[in-house]
Chains A and B, each alone.
Chain A
């Protein structure tokens, strides 16, 4: 466990140490705040627009964190950092789990910062209380990093450094549409992820029936189960890979 956390810590520390990350978060918050000026252009629909923009930008931020990770494993393998790490009493599976956990923690921190920033902006702009649906939707966006990071690690294990981010981005994009395969047992949700389960953007805007916290809990649980499956597959592939 300590080894896993050491790998994870290395991952999140490196990203969160970069100043550009905070500059990008600031840019995201400025973009969210700018939605307030769309009142005329959207015919007074600027409030739903701001909620939606915040969720979209938060999702994009999470995807960017995941994509940034796809460079890391191939780079470490190429530069021989991975082989150095693996000479220590550290299994390949532990190395991958560490990478996944590190990505998740990085994504959660960045995503939480954006969400909190949005809540402050929203409160200032409309002087309204933050609706529970909005909070829950942002939590689900944060939780979506769990399966996403597993996808990123999966492709990083066997693909070249240049293609991995593109393939990962396409896979994440495709994962929002796998609901069409709901009829195929074990494929839907088991082998193929459905990131649409974390997509509550319309719900945050319009509200509706109250979402139970158990849904969020189960969505996180599904993300963990799917990550276990994908990391296991990645670990199997990684085992047979020759590391210089």
Chain B
């Protein structure tokens, strides 16, 4: 009896120790497989049924939203509560972020950004580029429809801060996307411009692009910019700036610097900044007279190769012949020659 009791106790102790260590290991492994597990709320009450609870809450939320005319001050709190409940049960619920959070943008943009920011920190959603994009979009657009109180300087400062925050989100969206959409890149540039100078964002946009280009040129490791087709975007920004502020001396100066540095090998119309082709006498975009290039000096036909296809003129005459240089003779070879001549004389 006593022996059996001892065996029972020993088995219990060994099982407790082994079970405890194994459970800890499994818990860690589960955390690695499901990183969002730590973000889940309401675990004690739901006993492992959080996902189904979120599904049920989601369907109730859809029904509730269908009963509303619009999300306004009278119901925004309720909408936030319901949404937070769903996302608390299931932090990976992408549709709840996309549909639910966007319904808050007009009445509670700050809360919408806060929820999206949490989603951006979720490792399970690290490949979703839309969530940071929505956050940036709300920051740059939603506040335009909200009447804010404060002095002009305060409002300006808030605008800059929001733009800076939006830049981070757009940058995250671009980095997460395998091939970033054009509108995401444009939003990123615009947000950077607003953060730099909210009063003249066209000029700031060109400055931002030019700074990026400069950085790219100076980077020894040749790290490519996150903005694709940078040169095209620079010329477009310069065109827009010229169109918007034709008489602004600062804008003119910036455009001149950009054109000289970035497009030094290209032929660009000075009036509309349109790139013109070989043989063009006038800009096809604005009709301005442009400096002709790539034509035969003899007949003015467009050159297609070395010889003019109209008159046979050689547009690239051979360079003047170089002086013939005497091949250097090695000193050892010279010595050998002297020996040979001496030997001949000796004979």
B and A form one assembly: yes
- A79 close to chain B: CB less than 8 A: no
Known: A218-B25, A225-B15. 6 other contacts (CB 8 A): A186-B16, A197-B23, A202-B34, A206-B92, A232-B11, A232-B12
Q: Interface digits, A118-154 against B, CB 8 Å rule (1 contact, 0 not)?
A: 0000000000000000000000000000000000000
Determine the chain B residues whose CB is within 8 A of the CB of A215 once the complex forms: 26, 29-30, 33
- CB-CB nearest 10 A-B residue pairs: A189-B23, A190-B20, A229-B15, A190-B16, A176-B48, A176-B47, A173-B47, A177-B44, A199-B48, A201-B51
Interface residues of A in 182-233 (CB under 8 A from B): 182, 185-191, 194-197, 199-203, 205-206, 208-209, 211, 215, 218-219, 221-222, 225-226, 228-229, 232-233
Question: Would B51 and A205 count as touching, CB distance under 8 A?
Answer: yes
**Complex alpha-carbon distance, A55 and B50, angstroms:** 12
Which range holds the interface residue count of chain B? 35 or more
In angstroms, how far is the closest chain A Cβ from the Cβ of B17?
Answer: 7
Determine the chain A residues whose CB is within 8 A of the CB of B8 once the complex forms: 232, 235-236
Question: Would B48 and A194 count as touching, CB distance under 8 A?
Answer: no
Question: Would B19 and A189 count as touching, CB distance under 8 A?
Answer: yes
Determine the chain B residues whose CB is within 8 A of the CB of A45 once the complex forms: 55, 58, 95
Binding site for B on A (CB under 8 A): 38, 41-43, 45, 48-49, 52-53, 55-56, 59, 172-174, 176-177, 179-180, 182, 185-191, 194-197, 199-203, 205-206, 208-209, 211, 215, 218-219, 221-222, 225-226, 228-229, 232-233, 235-236
Determine the chain A residues whose CB is within 8 A of the CB of B46 once the complex forms: 176
Q: Interface digits, B20-37 against A, CB 8 Å rule (1 contact, 0 not)?
A: 111111110110111011
- B90 close to chain A: CB less than 8 A: yes
Question: Would A176 and B24 count as touching, CB distance under 8 A?
Answer: no
Q: Which residue of chain B has the shortest Cβ distance to A38 in the bound complex? A: B59
Given A199-B48, A235-B8: A188 and B20 interface contact (C-beta under 8 Å): yes
- B124 close to chain A: CB less than 8 A: yes
Determine the chain B residues whose CB is within 8 A of the CB of A194 once the complex forms: 23, 27
Determine the chain B residues whose CB is within 8 A of the CB of A172 once the complex forms: 47
Q: Which residue of chain B has the shortest Cβ distance to A178 in the bound complex? A: B23
Given A45-B95, A197-B26: A189 and B52 interface contact (C-beta under 8 Å): no
Given A176-B48, A232-B8: A43 and B99 interface contact (C-beta under 8 Å): yes
Determine the chain B residues whose CB is within 8 A of the CB of A196 once the complex forms: 30, 43, 48
Question: Would B11 and A43 count as touching, CB distance under 8 A?
Answer: no
Identify which of B15, B18, B32, B33 contacts A232 (C-beta below 8 A).
B15
Question: Would A180 and B48 count as touching, CB distance under 8 A?
Answer: no
In angstroms, how far is the closest chain B Cβ from the Cβ of A91?
Answer: 9
- B263 close to chain A: CB less than 8 A: no
- B307 close to chain A: CB less than 8 A: no
Question: Would B22 and A222 count as touching, CB distance under 8 A?
Answer: yes
**Could you list 28 A-B pairs, sorted by A, with CB under 8 Å?**
A41-B59, A42-B55, A45-B55, A45-B95, A59-B48, A59-B49, A177-B43, A180-B44, A182-B24, A185-B20, A187-B20, A189-B19, A189-B20, A189-B24, A189-B27, A190-B23, A196-B43, A199-B48, A200-B33, A202-B50, A203-B34, A221-B22, A222-B22, A222-B26, A225-B19, A229-B16, A232-B12, A236-B5
Question: Would B124 and A206 count as touching, CB distance under 8 A?
Answer: yes
Q: Which residue of chain A has the shortest Cβ distance to B99 in the bound complex? A: A43
Question: Would B20 and A186 count as touching, CB distance under 8 A?
Answer: yes
Question: Would A49 and B55 count as touching, CB distance under 8 A?
Answer: yes
**Complex alpha-carbon distance, A190 and B22, angstroms:** 9
**Complex alpha-carbon distance, A16 and B23, angstroms:** 32
Q: Interface digits, B291-317 against A, CB 8 Å rule (1 contact, 0 not)?
A: 000000000000000000000000000
Identify which of A176, A179, A180, A202 contacts B92 (C-beta below 8 A).
A202
Determine the chain B residues whose CB is within 8 A of the CB of A49 once the complex forms: 55
- B338 close to chain A: CB less than 8 A: no
Determine the chain B residues whose CB is within 8 A of the CB of A55 once the complex forms: 51
Question: Would A42 and B62 count as touching, CB distance under 8 A?
Answer: yes
**Complex alpha-carbon distance, A45 and B58, angstroms:** 10
Question: Would A52 and B52 count as touching, CB distance under 8 A?
Answer: yes
**Complex alpha-carbon distance, A49 and B25, angstroms:** 30
Question: Would B11 and A200 count as touching, CB distance under 8 A?
Answer: no
